[in-house]
Amino acid sequence: MDNKKNENFSEWFTEIIQKAELADIRYNLKGFIVFRPWSVLSIEEMYKLYEKELQSKGHKPTYFPILIPESNFHLEASHVEGFSPEVFWVTEHGKGEKFEERLALRPTSETAMYKMYSLWIQGKSDLPLKIYQRGTVYRYETKATRPFFRSRELVWIEAHNCFATKKEAVKQVKEDLKMTEKVMYGEFCIPFIGFQRPEWDKFPGAVHTYAADTLMPDGKVIQMPSTHLLGQNFSKPFNVMFADEKGKQTPVWQTCHGPCISRIYGGMISILGDDQGLRLPFKLAPVQVIIVPILKGDDAKNKAVLKYCKKIQKKLIKKEFRTEIDSSENTPGFKFNQWEMKGVPIRFEIGPKEFEQNKITLSIRTKKQKETIDFKDIVKIVKNKGEEVTKDLKEEASKNFLDVIHDAKNMNELKQVLDKGGFARIPFCSVEMEGRECADNVKAETHGDIRGIRVDSKEKPNETDKCIWCGKSAKEIVYIARQY
């Protein structure tokens, strides 16, 4: 890699996308990219892990149409107001014939799904309804687009749930946050803080919004999965009702949850990568073990080495480890650098000595040293070393994350923290609408966004703490960061 990640993250990110062949931005439609196989193979594994967790919690998969009639949007006023500027509209078909009404390419699926929920839900026996779909959504992003992070076509999962009571809906929100912890941190190695967003920064139509924020290497924050308590704000206009025990028609309580897999992937490669290139959790690597034959001039020995490599590969594939042999004509040194750059967790080096002794020279992506192992132990060792790689990545990412959270009590301290990059923890007057003016003024001065109050902590200001902007008594401790 020509660029250092912590010196010039933007250039490093562009370089790794090109060299690791993750995406191609040359598609002739602005804001749309081509996802290349090396990224898609990891994204598919991410989908599997997230969907497995969703299904374990009772969510069922489905597919809904990508086109949504415009009339659906107008049933919930704040939702249409929030999303209309971002919608792609389809207005005609065939030889220029107009549709009776405009059709939206889905920016999110509330207005598509809830029309059907009103037909499916009749009584309490139909609840809870917990459905998700994987697919793409389309938003006319007006800011600078960037592969994986900010584009006009997003690869994601969205779950939409209905319950008989508010208590059940609130419980679902908490379950979503735990799911994010288990999958995004536990499997993808991405540390984050969960926030309840300020009232002025909610999902359009939500009662409350909760989101997981992580930090990029340049110190800017990026939102990862979000979950929303919708209350009855959609069920009433969409007539999603159930008959309670007394036969009374009652609006359901709803939540929705949206992990954007393409954005999570972009965050993962940014946080875990290093100056040599990608570093991937073992479960997510397209190739988990690369076997590099070390061939010399003796043809007979070379054939024996290659045969031994295939024997190793066969044994690992039988145990479902994704394993390849690099039998290209490139030099061993080039191969080592290439596969390190692509983030392969485990490398086997096999030469005449290894073949003759029934041994393997092994190295892992997160360590510098090499070691020699016996052929008979490779399945157990690959499993253990794979877990070690993931553990190393998680521990390093967590340490780096904790190092960029700092307290600020006044505007000068806040500017200093944000200039260095990371989260500033500050006393603030209110995350209700009355606090918006202070938030706007703070942003104008610092370019920092109020992310919200932490959901996994009972942080409260001291009696003497004052709002960092207006000087009134602080009601909350909030976090602020510059947004990616």
The radius of gyration computed from the CA coordinates of the chain, to the nearest angstrom, equals 26
- Distance between CA atoms of residues 132 and 59, nearest Å: 6
The pLDDT assigned to 143 comes to 74
The residue written with tokens 């939540």 in the block is 255
d(CA 261, CA 44): 9
Output the pLDDT for position 153: 93
Q: How far is CA 384 from the centre of its chain?
A: 26
Q: pLDDT (tens digit, 9 = 90+) per residue, 216-260?
A: 999 999 999 999 999 999 999 999 999 988 889 999 999 999 999
Q: What b/e sequence results for 396-431 when a residue is b if at least 16 CB atoms lie within 10 Å of its CB, and e otherwise? A: bbeeebeebebebeeeeebbebbeebbbbbbbbbbb
Contacts of the segment 113-116: beta carbons below 8 A, 24+ positions apart:
113/64, 113/160, 114/160, 114/234, 114/235, 114/238, 114/240, 114/254, 115/72, 115/238, 116/64
Cα(451)–Cα(468) distance, integer angstroms: 15
Average pLDDT over residues 439-447: 97
CATH 3.40.50.800 boundaries in the chain:
287-385
Q: What is the pLDDT of residue 226?
A: 95
Query: pTM for the whole thing?
Result: 0.94
Secondary structure (3-state) at 359: strand
Which tokens sit at 340? 């390190």
How far apart are alpha carbons 253 and 172 in whole angstroms? 11
CA distance 347 to 354: 14
What is the number of alpha carbons within 13 Å of residue 367 lying toward its C-beta? 15
In angstroms, what CA-CA distances link 269 with 100, 117, 147, 282?
45, 37, 12, 13
Position 421 scores a pLDDT of 92
How confident is the prediction for the chain on average, in pLDDT?
Answer: 94
- Is a pLDDT exceeding 70 seen at residue 374? yes
Q: Which two tokens stand for residue 168?
A: 């059940």
pLDDT beyond 80 at 279: yes
Cβ atoms of residues 455 and 177 within 8 Å = yes
- For the domain made up of 9-272, the CATH class stated in words is alpha beta
pLDDT at 285 over 90: yes
Angle between helices 411-420 and 436-446 (to 10 degrees): 60
What DSSP designation does 4 have?
A: -
Class of domain 405-481 as given by CATH: alpha beta
Higher pLDDT, 393 or 79: 393
Cβ neighbours around 172 below 10 Å, total: 25
**Token pair of 184, please?**
């995004």
- Map tokens 């990640």 to a residue: 5
Q: Are 61 and 132 in contact (CB under 8 A)?
A: yes
Phi then psi dihedrals of residue 204, to 5 deg: -60, 115
pLDDT category at 190 given cuts 50, 70, 90 is: very high
pLDDT at 398 > cutoff 70: yes
Q: Quick check: 153 and 138 in contact, CB under 8 A?
A: yes
pLDDT at 93: 93
**H or E stretch covering 383:** helix 378-402
CA distance 134 to 316: 31
Contacts of 166 (CB under 8 A, 6+ apart): 231, 253
Question: Do strands 88-93 and 97-105 pair parallel, antiparallel, or not at all (unpaired)?
Answer: antiparallel
Angle at 168 between CA 53 and CA 259, to 5 degrees: 35
Tokens 């997510």 belong to which residue? 284
Please list the residue range(s) of the chain that carry CATH number 3.30.110.30: 405-481
b (16+ CB within 10 A) / e for 457-470: eeeebeeebbbbbb
Q: Residue 394: which residues within 8 A CB-CB, separation 6 or more?
A: 185, 189
- What pLDDT sits at residue 80? 67
- Kindly give, in sequence order, each residue whose CB lies less than 8 Å from that of residue 57, ignoring residues fewer than 6 positions away: 130, 175, 179
What does the pLDDT look like over 91-146, one tens digit per residue?
A: 999 988 999 999 999 999 999 999 999 999 999 999 999 999 999 999 998 776 78
Report the share of the chain in percent with pLDDT over 70.
Answer: 99
3.40.50.800, 3.30.870.10, 3.40.640.10, 3.20.20.70: CATH of 287-385: 3.40.50.800
| DSSP classification of residue 401 | H
Work out the pLDDT band at 198, boundaries 50, 70, 90. very high
Q: Please give the average per-residue pLDDT across 366-372, as a whole number.
A: 92
